[in-house]
Amino acid sequence: MHQELERAGYAVFAITYDRQVDLKAFADKLGIDYPILSDEGSRVIRELGILDEDLEVHHARFAVPTRPEQHGVAYPMTFVLDETGRIERKIVEENYRSRYGGRFLLEELTRGPAARNTPGTETSTTASRAIVSARAWLDSPTYFAYQRLGLHVEVTIQPGWHVYGREVPAGYSGLRIELQSAPPGVRSGPPRWPDAKPFRVEGLDQELSAYEGTVRITDPVDFVVNRGSGPVRLEISLGFQVCSDRECLPPATVSLSVTVPEGPVP
């Protein structure tokens, strides 16, 4: 994935408190070829103000004992630097076990959708109702325990029709997406919605918002599960009301499902 970040204009490097000998063994095992700084003693980590001084408390959330050699670890965080080395942005993880997947991080950094046509990078399903079709996929063919992936839902509306946006007055049904069913520990949201267009119904003194054409919503999903949990099935509910300039159809709901297998432990 770091090759895709580099193609997008990002140079990738990492900082960790681990010893050089341990980092080399780790990089050789996983085929990592981008620079990793061995900050043994956590001097740089302290200077950046990201030392995790409450590691025991954070480990206790997962009933994990803290070993002496683990002191000095940093908060999981991504720094985005400009060409001069100035920090433009920080992406802070919720905890050390919930991490961005590579493709979701790429989308987060570039502020645009990651490529979805790369072979072997998606799991998808399709459902249709009336003149609206929808499909959902994850941005990785597998998941790892405590990883965050992007669940993408693409809604396509036929020409001449629209669906209302999320915020609508009483009596209207806006576009909504919900994770209806997932194993314990798998959680989502809040979704990232594209901007809707202002829309006014002729003869009514109300301005609404609407979507036309193709709409893509991204919902971050955290897989807070233990290793060995096996395939995870996500059941998604998509609700909407489709209208034209002259008529509105009754509110409708479609169900989508995505099953993603667990990736092998490196």
User: Tell me: the pLDDT tens digits for 62-85?
Assistant: 777 888 888 888 888 888 888 888
pLDDT score, position 213: 95
- Is the same domain home to 152 and 79? no
Confirm if 253 and 238 have CB atoms less than 8 A apart. yes
The pLDDT of 123-146, averaged and rounded, is 82
Measured distance CA(80)–CA(89) in Å, rounded:
5
- Is the same domain home to 151 and 253? yes
Q: Is residue 118 very low, low, confident or very high in pLDDT (cuts 50, 70, 90)?
A: very low
* Alpha-carbon distances, residue 38 vs 1, 19, 80, 93, 266 (angstroms): 22, 6, 19, 21, 21
Between 172 and 80, the higher pLDDT residue: 80
The pLDDT of 157-169, averaged and rounded, is 88
Confirm if 182 and 232 have CB atoms less than 8 A apart. yes
- Is the same domain home to 190 and 244? yes
Residue spans of alpha helices (H) in 61-157: 102-110
pTM across the whole model? 0.74
How many independent structural domains does the chain possess?
Answer: 2
Which residue type occupies 165? G
- Is the same domain home to 256 and 145? yes
Neighbours of 200 (CB within 10 A): 11
- Is the same domain home to 21 and 139? no
As a whole number, the mean pLDDT across the chain is 83
pLDDT score, position 31: 85
Q: What is the total residue count of the chain? A: 266
Domain carrying residue 189: 123-260
The pLDDT of 51-67, averaged and rounded, is 81
Query: Is 233 domain-assigned?
Result: yes
Q: Is residue 10 very low, low, confident or very high in pLDDT (cuts 50, 70, 90)?
A: confident
pLDDT score, position 121: 44
pLDDT score, position 68: 83
Query: Is 252 domain-assigned?
Result: yes
Q: Is residue 239 very low, low, confident or very high in pLDDT (cuts 50, 70, 90)?
A: very high
pLDDT score, position 150: 87
**pLDDT beyond 70 at 119:** no
The position carrying tokens 């109300």 is 206
| Pairing status of strand 176-181 against strand 232-240 | antiparallel
The pLDDT of 131-152, averaged and rounded, is 88
- Is the same domain home to 45 and 127? no
The pLDDT of 208-220, averaged and rounded, is 91
